[in-house]
A and B are shown apart, each in its own frame.
Chain A
C-alpha cells in the first residue's frame, strides 16, 4: 500500500472530476434546495437582537466599573487597609494611607484614609475580588454599562480618587432614599 492511498485521519476523500449531468448543469435543483434552507430559517428562533433599541438582560452578578462608596453622611468608607490590593490577582490597585486630621472628620469615616487610591484599568480584570475582600463596604463594582471609557494615553487609564469616589450628590440622594424608606 502506498502512502497516497492511506488515510491517517480516516476522512480522506478522493476528489472526482466527473462531468455534471443536464439537471445539475441547470442549477435549478440546487437553487431550490438553498431557498428551502432559507425558508426554514425564517421560522426558527432569532439569535440576534436590534441592539440600540433592544438591550440584552445582564447577569445578576454583572460587574462594571468600580466605585469607592461614601456613607449616608457623605464620608468616605475607605480606610486604606490594603486588602483589596492584596486580593487583586492582577495587582491593579495601589494606595497610600494618611492619618485623618481633626478638621477632616466630616470627610473620612475612620482615623485613617486613602490619600492616593489608584486602579490601573488596563490591568483590572473585573473579577470583583476587591469588593469581596473589602471589610468596610467601601469598594463596589457598579452595574455601569461602560466598563472603561476609551482613550488615547495609558495615563488616562489609571483611575485616581477623582474618578473612583462616589459623587457627593449621589451620597446625598442615597441618604434621602434611606430616610424615605
Chain B
C-alpha cells in the first residue's frame, strides 16, 4: 500500500497506522504522541496530540475525511494522502490540544525530576502558547505514597494510561483502570496494587510526564547534569540492557534505553533499575547519544578526545599543592568511596 504524508510517499504493510508510517519516513512530519507507545498493545487514541488531516481517503474512495484523525489509531489505506506538518488546521488543532493538556498541569518543571526529558515539555515547546489563558484553579490531588521505589505526582498526570497498560501487560495481576470520572479521574489505586511486581518500574520510563518518577533518584540531580552511558549486566529477569545516569563516579539512576520517540527499546526489571547502583554491577559500553537539540547533551563531550602529551616536568603540570585542592562543593568529596568509609 502506498501512503503519502506531507508529499513523501512510502510503501507500507496493510494494518499500519498513519503514525507508524510517518515514523518510517521520519523527520519533521512525525506527529507528536503522548499516549501512543509502540511496545504497548492498545495504547493510543487518548491524548489527541497526533491529529492529522487526511486529504484523500484512498484510491477507491478519494473523498477527504471531514475531521482531523488521530494518526496513532487510524489505519493506512492504499493511495491515502495525509497532511501533518503542512496543514494549518493540524497546527491549530495541536496548539489547542497542548493548551488543553496544560490546563491541569501544575507547570512545576523547576521541581519536577522529569524536566529535560519530558514529552509534554517538548510538545509545549513546539506547539504551546507562551501565556496561559486558564484563570481557574487547577485540579489537585492529595499526595499518595505508593511504595519505596516509585513517586506518584497525580497533579502532573495527563491520563495517557500508558502506565495502566504496563500494569496490565507486563505485570501478572490485572489490577488496572482509571478510577473516577472527568476532572477527578486518577490512576493511583490501580498503580499501587501492581507496584510489587518485578516490572512495575517501567511505569516510570513509560510516563510521558513527571507523574511517575524514580524515588531513588528524587531531587538527586537534574537530568542534564548526569552523564548517560549505555550499560548492561547479566540479569535473569530481563535483558539487562540499560542506560545508567552517572554523576562523577556515582550511578544515580538506571533507566531503559529510550529511542528517538522516547520509547524504551526493551523493558527492564526492578532489580536492575532500583537495586544495582554500584559501578561494579555494570559493564559500561559507552556514552549514550541523544537527539541533537536535547538538553541532556549539554556539557557532554562525546567526541573522542585525543590525549595531549606535553613533554615537561610532571610536577609543573600538576601545579602546586594548594592549587590542586578542591575548593567548590566542599561538602561533597570527589571520591564517593571516601564518603562511605
Q: Does B132 contact A (CB under 8 A)?
A: no
Chain A residues with CB under 8 Å of chain B are 79-83, 85-86, 91, 94, 96-99, 110-112, 116, 118, 120, 135-136, 154-155, 158
Quote the shortest CB–CB distance from B228 to chain A (angstroms): 16
Cα distance, A111 to B110, chains bound together (Å): 10
CA distance A98 to B218 in the complex (A): 9
Kindly state whether residue B60 has any CB partner on chain A within 8 Å: no
Contact in complex: A99, B110 (CB < 8 Å): no
**B39 to A: closest C-beta gap in Å:** 31
Are B328 and A97 in touch, CB under 8 angstroms?
no
Using A99-B219, A116-B329, A155-B327 as known contacts, say yes or no to A81 and B111 having CB atoms under 8 A apart: yes
Q: Tell me which of B224, B323, B330, B331 contacts A86 (CB under 8 A).
A: B224
Contacts of A110 in B (CB 8 A): 108, 110-111
In the complex, whether B222 has a CB less than 8 A from a CB of chain A is yes
19 interchain pairs, CB-CB under 8 A: A79-B111, A81-B111, A81-B115, A83-B110, A85-B225, A86-B224, A96-B329, A96-B332, A97-B219, A97-B220, A110-B111, A111-B111, A112-B111, A116-B331, A118-B329, A154-B323, A154-B327, A155-B327, A158-B330
| B-chain residues with CB within 8 Å of residue A97 when the two chains form the complex | 219-221
A-B complex: 3 closest residue pairs judged by Cβ atoms: A81-B110, A82-B222, A97-B219
Given contacts A81-B111, A110-B108, A112-B110, 8 further A-B contacts (CB under 8 A): A79-B111, A82-B221, A96-B331, A110-B110, A112-B219, A118-B328, A154-B323, A158-B330
Q: Is A94's CB under 8 angstroms from B109's CB?
A: no
Binding site for A on B (CB under 8 A): 108-111, 115, 218-222, 224-225, 295, 298-299, 322-323, 325, 327-332
Partner of A99 from the list B218, B221, B329 (CB cut-off 8 Å) is B218
Nearest A-chain residue to B323, judged by Cβ = A154
- Provided the pairs A111-B111, A135-B110 are in contact, do residues A82 and B329 lie with their beta carbons within 8 angstroms? no
Classify the secondary structure of B's interface with A.
loop
Asked if B328 and A120 sit within 8 Å, CB to CB, the answer is yes
A116 touches B332 (CB 8 A): yes
Q: Taking CB as reference atom, which chain A residue is nearest B222?
A: A82
- In this complex, the member of A86, A91, A110 whose beta carbon has the largest number of chain B beta carbons within 10 angstroms is A86
Q: How far is the CA of A79 from the CA of B298 in the complex (A)?
A: 20
A32–B110 Cα gap in the complex (Å)?
Answer: 72
Q: Which residues of A contact B330 (CB under 8 A)?
A: 158
Q: Chain A residues near B220: list those with CB within 8 A.
A: 97
B residues in contact with A120, CB < 8 Å: 327-328
Residues of B within 8 A of A82 (CB): 221-222, 224-225
A57 to B101, CA, bound (A): 49
Residues of A within 8 A of B331 (CB): 96, 116
Bound: A80/B218 CA distance, A: 13
A81 touching B327 by the CB < 8 A rule?
no
Q: Known contacts A99-B218, A136-B110; decide if A158 and B332 are in contact (CB<8 Å).
A: no
Closest residue to A157 on the B side, CB-wise? B327
Closest to A80 in B: B219
A154 to B332, alpha carbons, bound, how many Å?
Answer: 18
For residue A81, which residues in chain B have a CB less than 8 angstroms away from its CB?
Answer: 109-111, 115, 222
Query: Which A residues are CB-close (under 8 A) to B332?
Result: 96, 116
User: Are B224's CB and A79's CB within 8 A?
Assistant: no
Give the complex CA separation of A81 and B280 in angstroms. 30
Pair A158/B328 contact, Cβ less than 8 Å: yes
CA separation between A86 and B330, bound complex, in Å? 21
What is the distance, in angstroms, from A75's C-beta to the closest C-beta of chain B?
A: 14
Instruction: Report yes or no: B219 in contact with A86, Cβ–Cβ below 8 A.
Output: no
Q: How far is the CA of A110 from the CA of B218 in the complex (A)?
A: 14
Chain A: minimal CB distance from B259 (Å): 24
State whether A86 and B295 are in contact (beta carbons under 8 Å apart), knowing that A96-B329, A97-B219, A99-B218 are contacts in the complex.
yes
The reply to whether A86 and B298 contact each other, CB–CB distance below 8 Å, is: yes
